[in-house]
Structure 1
Amino acid sequence: MKSLFKILAIAVVIVSVSCNKSTAPNYQFMPNMYESVGYETYGEAAFPNGVEAQLPAEGSIPRGYVPFDIENTTDGYNLAKETLKSPLDSTAVDLERGKELYDIYCGICHGNKGKGQGTLVKREKILGIPSYDDAGRAINEGSIYHTIYYGKNAMGSYANQLNEEERWQVVSYVLKLKADLEK
């Protein structure tokens, strides 16, 4: 009888040890947290209602984006020219940074001195780029900012390339170039 209990006890220990598999995880209460389902970006399985991509919520604003309330019209340009002022004070204006950005984005057409003789103009790829010191060009910080934001004539918008602070740095540098040309 004692040997039967010993055999039974050994069998219970062997069965309990053999059922424990240390290489596999035990029960998972939320398996999707551990092994998420992979979806293709524009696949049908991800969006069963047929939508190709998720649209942002109505009225949402992307992080880091500051809305510009002046319209892309002639009246909007004139309004910007009359009312828009730089939010940068004299300590925040960095003409070196403005020069770097100007050389990257503007100098290829407008020239590094603002005379309208950039590389593309010299190669006759773009024509009609005016100089900042032309008598008929009454530009100010509002009109420059509006033009950078929306573009004008053959010039496209640089709103995606330059954030708001960088646009104002370029505006400050353009005003400096204009003042240097008028001397």
Structure 2
Amino acid sequence: MKGSMLVMNKLRIVSAAVITVAVAAGLSSCGNKKNPGLEFARNMYDPIAFNPDQPNDNFANGQTAQLPPEGTMPVGYDPVADAYPNTPEGYQAASANLKNPLPATQQNLSQGRTLYLHMCSHCHGTQGHGDGQIIKLEKFPPPPSYSTGNSSRGGAMKDLTDGKIFHTITYGLNLMGPHRTQLNPTERWKIVMYVHELQKLQ
């Protein structure tokens, strides 16, 4: 009997404490609407860093946003591609002026093949005949074969130059999207090297 009384007393104390905390929380939340109340871990959502347009005494000119150091290049800037815009004139200029800067080594060709298989073969096919897995779904028209097809810009696909292939990978064409954000310039040049091998296949 005495044990059961102790258990009942403990339950009452715990219940009273829970009810007291709940009532206090309810009353505090219904108080002054302009007062946000207590804030937990304020530093978790107050930025420590300066905003770009915020005054900053750490620099001589008092600005947070500073000019980049001379000779640096912004992230994503591609000087070769940016020199040849996504226009018919840019495409022709790329054809006339751009040559693959990478040496034609077995390593570069092998890496170009790997990049091609991962990034291009789903549409163009493993042999470049325009019969990739997506094309087999019969929901999209096939791209022309690198060895036997004709370019939608005119001329045979087997005659595409380094610059034309690089420009097309960079900006895309027709249903093919641009790949400049997925592939850096070196990777694009390696694919160009491998596409020239596919142009030779019959």
Return closer, same or farther for 1:57/1:121 CA change in 2, 3 Å cut-off.
farther
2:181 matches 1:160: yes
In the alignment, which residue of structure 2 is the partner of 1:62? 74
In the alignment, which residue of structure 1 is the partner of 2:191? 170
**Local SS of the residue matching 1:61:** coil
Per-residue CA distance 1:9-42 (angstroms, 9 max, x = gap): xxxxxxxxxxxxxxxxxxxxxxxxxxxx94749x
CA contact (8 A) 1:148 1:159 kept: yes
State how many pairs are aligned.
Answer: 141
| CA distance in 2: counterparts of 1:86 and 1:64, whole angstroms | 20
2:160 matches 1:146: no
In the alignment, which residue of structure 1 is the partner of 2:126? 112
| CA distance in 1: counterparts of 2:97 and 2:52, whole angstroms | 49
Return closer, same or farther for 1:132/1:46 CA change in 2, 3 Å cut-off.
same
**Local SS of the residue matching 1:94:** helix
Identity of paired residues, percent? 38
| CA distance in 2: counterparts of 1:106 and 1:56, whole angstroms | 40
Per-residue CA distance 1:97-149 (angstroms, 9 max, x = gap): 11110011000000000000101111123214111122533311110000011
In the alignment, which residue of structure 2 is the partner of 1:23? none
Q: CA RMSD in A?
A: 3.2
Please give the TM-score of this superposition, normalised by the length of structure 1. Answer: 0.65
Please give the TM-score of this superposition, normalised by the length of structure 2. Answer: 0.59
- Offset at 1:47? 4.1
The code of the aligned residue for 1:76 comes to G
Q: Which consecutive unaligned segments of at least 5 residues does structure 2 have?
A: 1-41, 55-63, 151-155
